[in-house]
Amino acid sequence: MDAYVASKLRGHCAQGQTLPLYLGCRVDGEEIVYQSKVAGRRSGLSPRELGVEMLSTTIAHDAGLHVARPALITLTQAMIDSIEAEYAFGVQDAIAFGSIWKPWLTPFLPDFEVDRLSEDECATLLAIDLILTNGDRTEPNPNICWEGSRLLVFDFEHCLELPRLDYGRRYALHLESLQPLFDTHVVANRVEIGLLRWAVQNVLDNLAVEALRRDAFALSGSWFGAWTDNVEYLGYIKDEQEPLMERIGELRA
């Protein structure tokens, strides 16, 4: 897991409600700017949400989606002071979620660009979002963009928001959520259900639960609980996947 210390505040992103910050980090003697989400009053994000975003982005990356590789960004007290002086942010945690800033990206326009995507790409994206219960990838707010001719996927902060019940009850609610998630997803109409079942199976088969468990020990205490709970829940789904696969087969456009 990549982890760096922020050394310079380079401004903020004007898009979105969470006010991501551009933080310069020294990496192998050079500065790399990470667009970083910080838990605080100004962003409305909690450490738990950032831990879940890190987990979900890591899973999407490992599943083969083109995502900006995530990193843990540590905020020194001097950096927190700089953020507060500039933005009165109300920082709540000294660890941020970072992804490499790519200023050359261009918007994705769902009305007429969905057909540019391959069916396999759409199926994998939809499969990831159904497994992670991500309802925040809709036509009005697709959270995908173009990096040249490649589709870049971002923004997993609203994944795994199911109530923290025992895994059996959580799973039942998860299954109930699949049709509404499918109905609003930006690429759902591009995916045949048989192909979606294949993509869901492929993601589950390659879900590296043991590796994700080990990664938890690199996390701060504020992120550890949400990460480990959701890794164990996803492991539960991987072991008990028959209800999920059956429900996927019942989805209707």
Match 């953020």 to its residue by tokens.
83
Kindly tell me if the per-residue pLDDT of 253 is higher than 90: no
Say whether both 122 and 223 belong to one domain: yes
Say whether both 113 and 236 belong to one domain: yes
Q: Which of 15-19, 83-87, 152-156 shows the lowest per-residue confidence on average (mean pLDDT)?
A: 15-19
The CATH number that applies at residue 50 is: 3.30.200
Please, what is the angle between helix 242-250 and helix 193-205, to 10°? 160
* Structural domain ending residue among the three candidates 83, 100, 117: 100
134 vs 2: CA distance, rounded Å: 24
**Local confidence band at 60 (pLDDT 50, 70, 90 cut-offs):** very high
For residues 169-173, average pLDDT: 98
Q: Please give the single-letter amino acid code of residue 198.
A: W
Say whether both 81 and 146 belong to one domain: no
Whole-number pLDDT of residue 197: 97
Kindly tell me if the per-residue pLDDT of 223 is higher than 90: yes
Task: Express each pLDDT in 74-83 by its tens digit.
Answer: 999 999 999 9
Residue 59 and residue 70 in contact, taking contact as beta carbons nearer than 8 Å: no
Whole-number pLDDT of residue 14: 83
Say whether both 111 and 186 belong to one domain: yes
Kindly tell me if the per-residue pLDDT of 16 is higher than 80: no
Mean pLDDT, the chain, integer: 95
Whole-number pLDDT of residue 220: 87
Range of the domain at 55: 2-100
* Structural domain ending residue among the three candidates 100, 118, 143: 100
Give me the DSSP letters along the chain: -EEEEEEEEEEE-SSSSS--EEEEEEETTEEEEEEEE--BTTTTB-HHHHHHHHHHHHHHHHTT--BPPEEEEEPPHHHHHHHHHHH---B--SEEEEEE--TT-EE--HHHHGGGS-HHHHHHHHHHHHHTT-----SSS--EEEETTEEEE---TTSS-S----HHHHHHHHHHHHHHHHHH-TTGGG--HHHHHHHHHHHHHT--HHHHHHHGGGS-HHHHHHHHHHHHHHHHHHHT-HHHHHHHHH---
* Structural domain ending residue among the three candidates 85, 100, 115: 100
Task: Express each pLDDT in 118-137 by its tens digit.
Answer: 999 999 999 999 999 999 99
- Tell me how many domains the chain contains: 2
Say whether both 33 and 138 belong to one domain: no
Say whether both 61 and 116 belong to one domain: no
Say whether both 121 and 222 belong to one domain: yes
Whole-number pLDDT of residue 5: 97
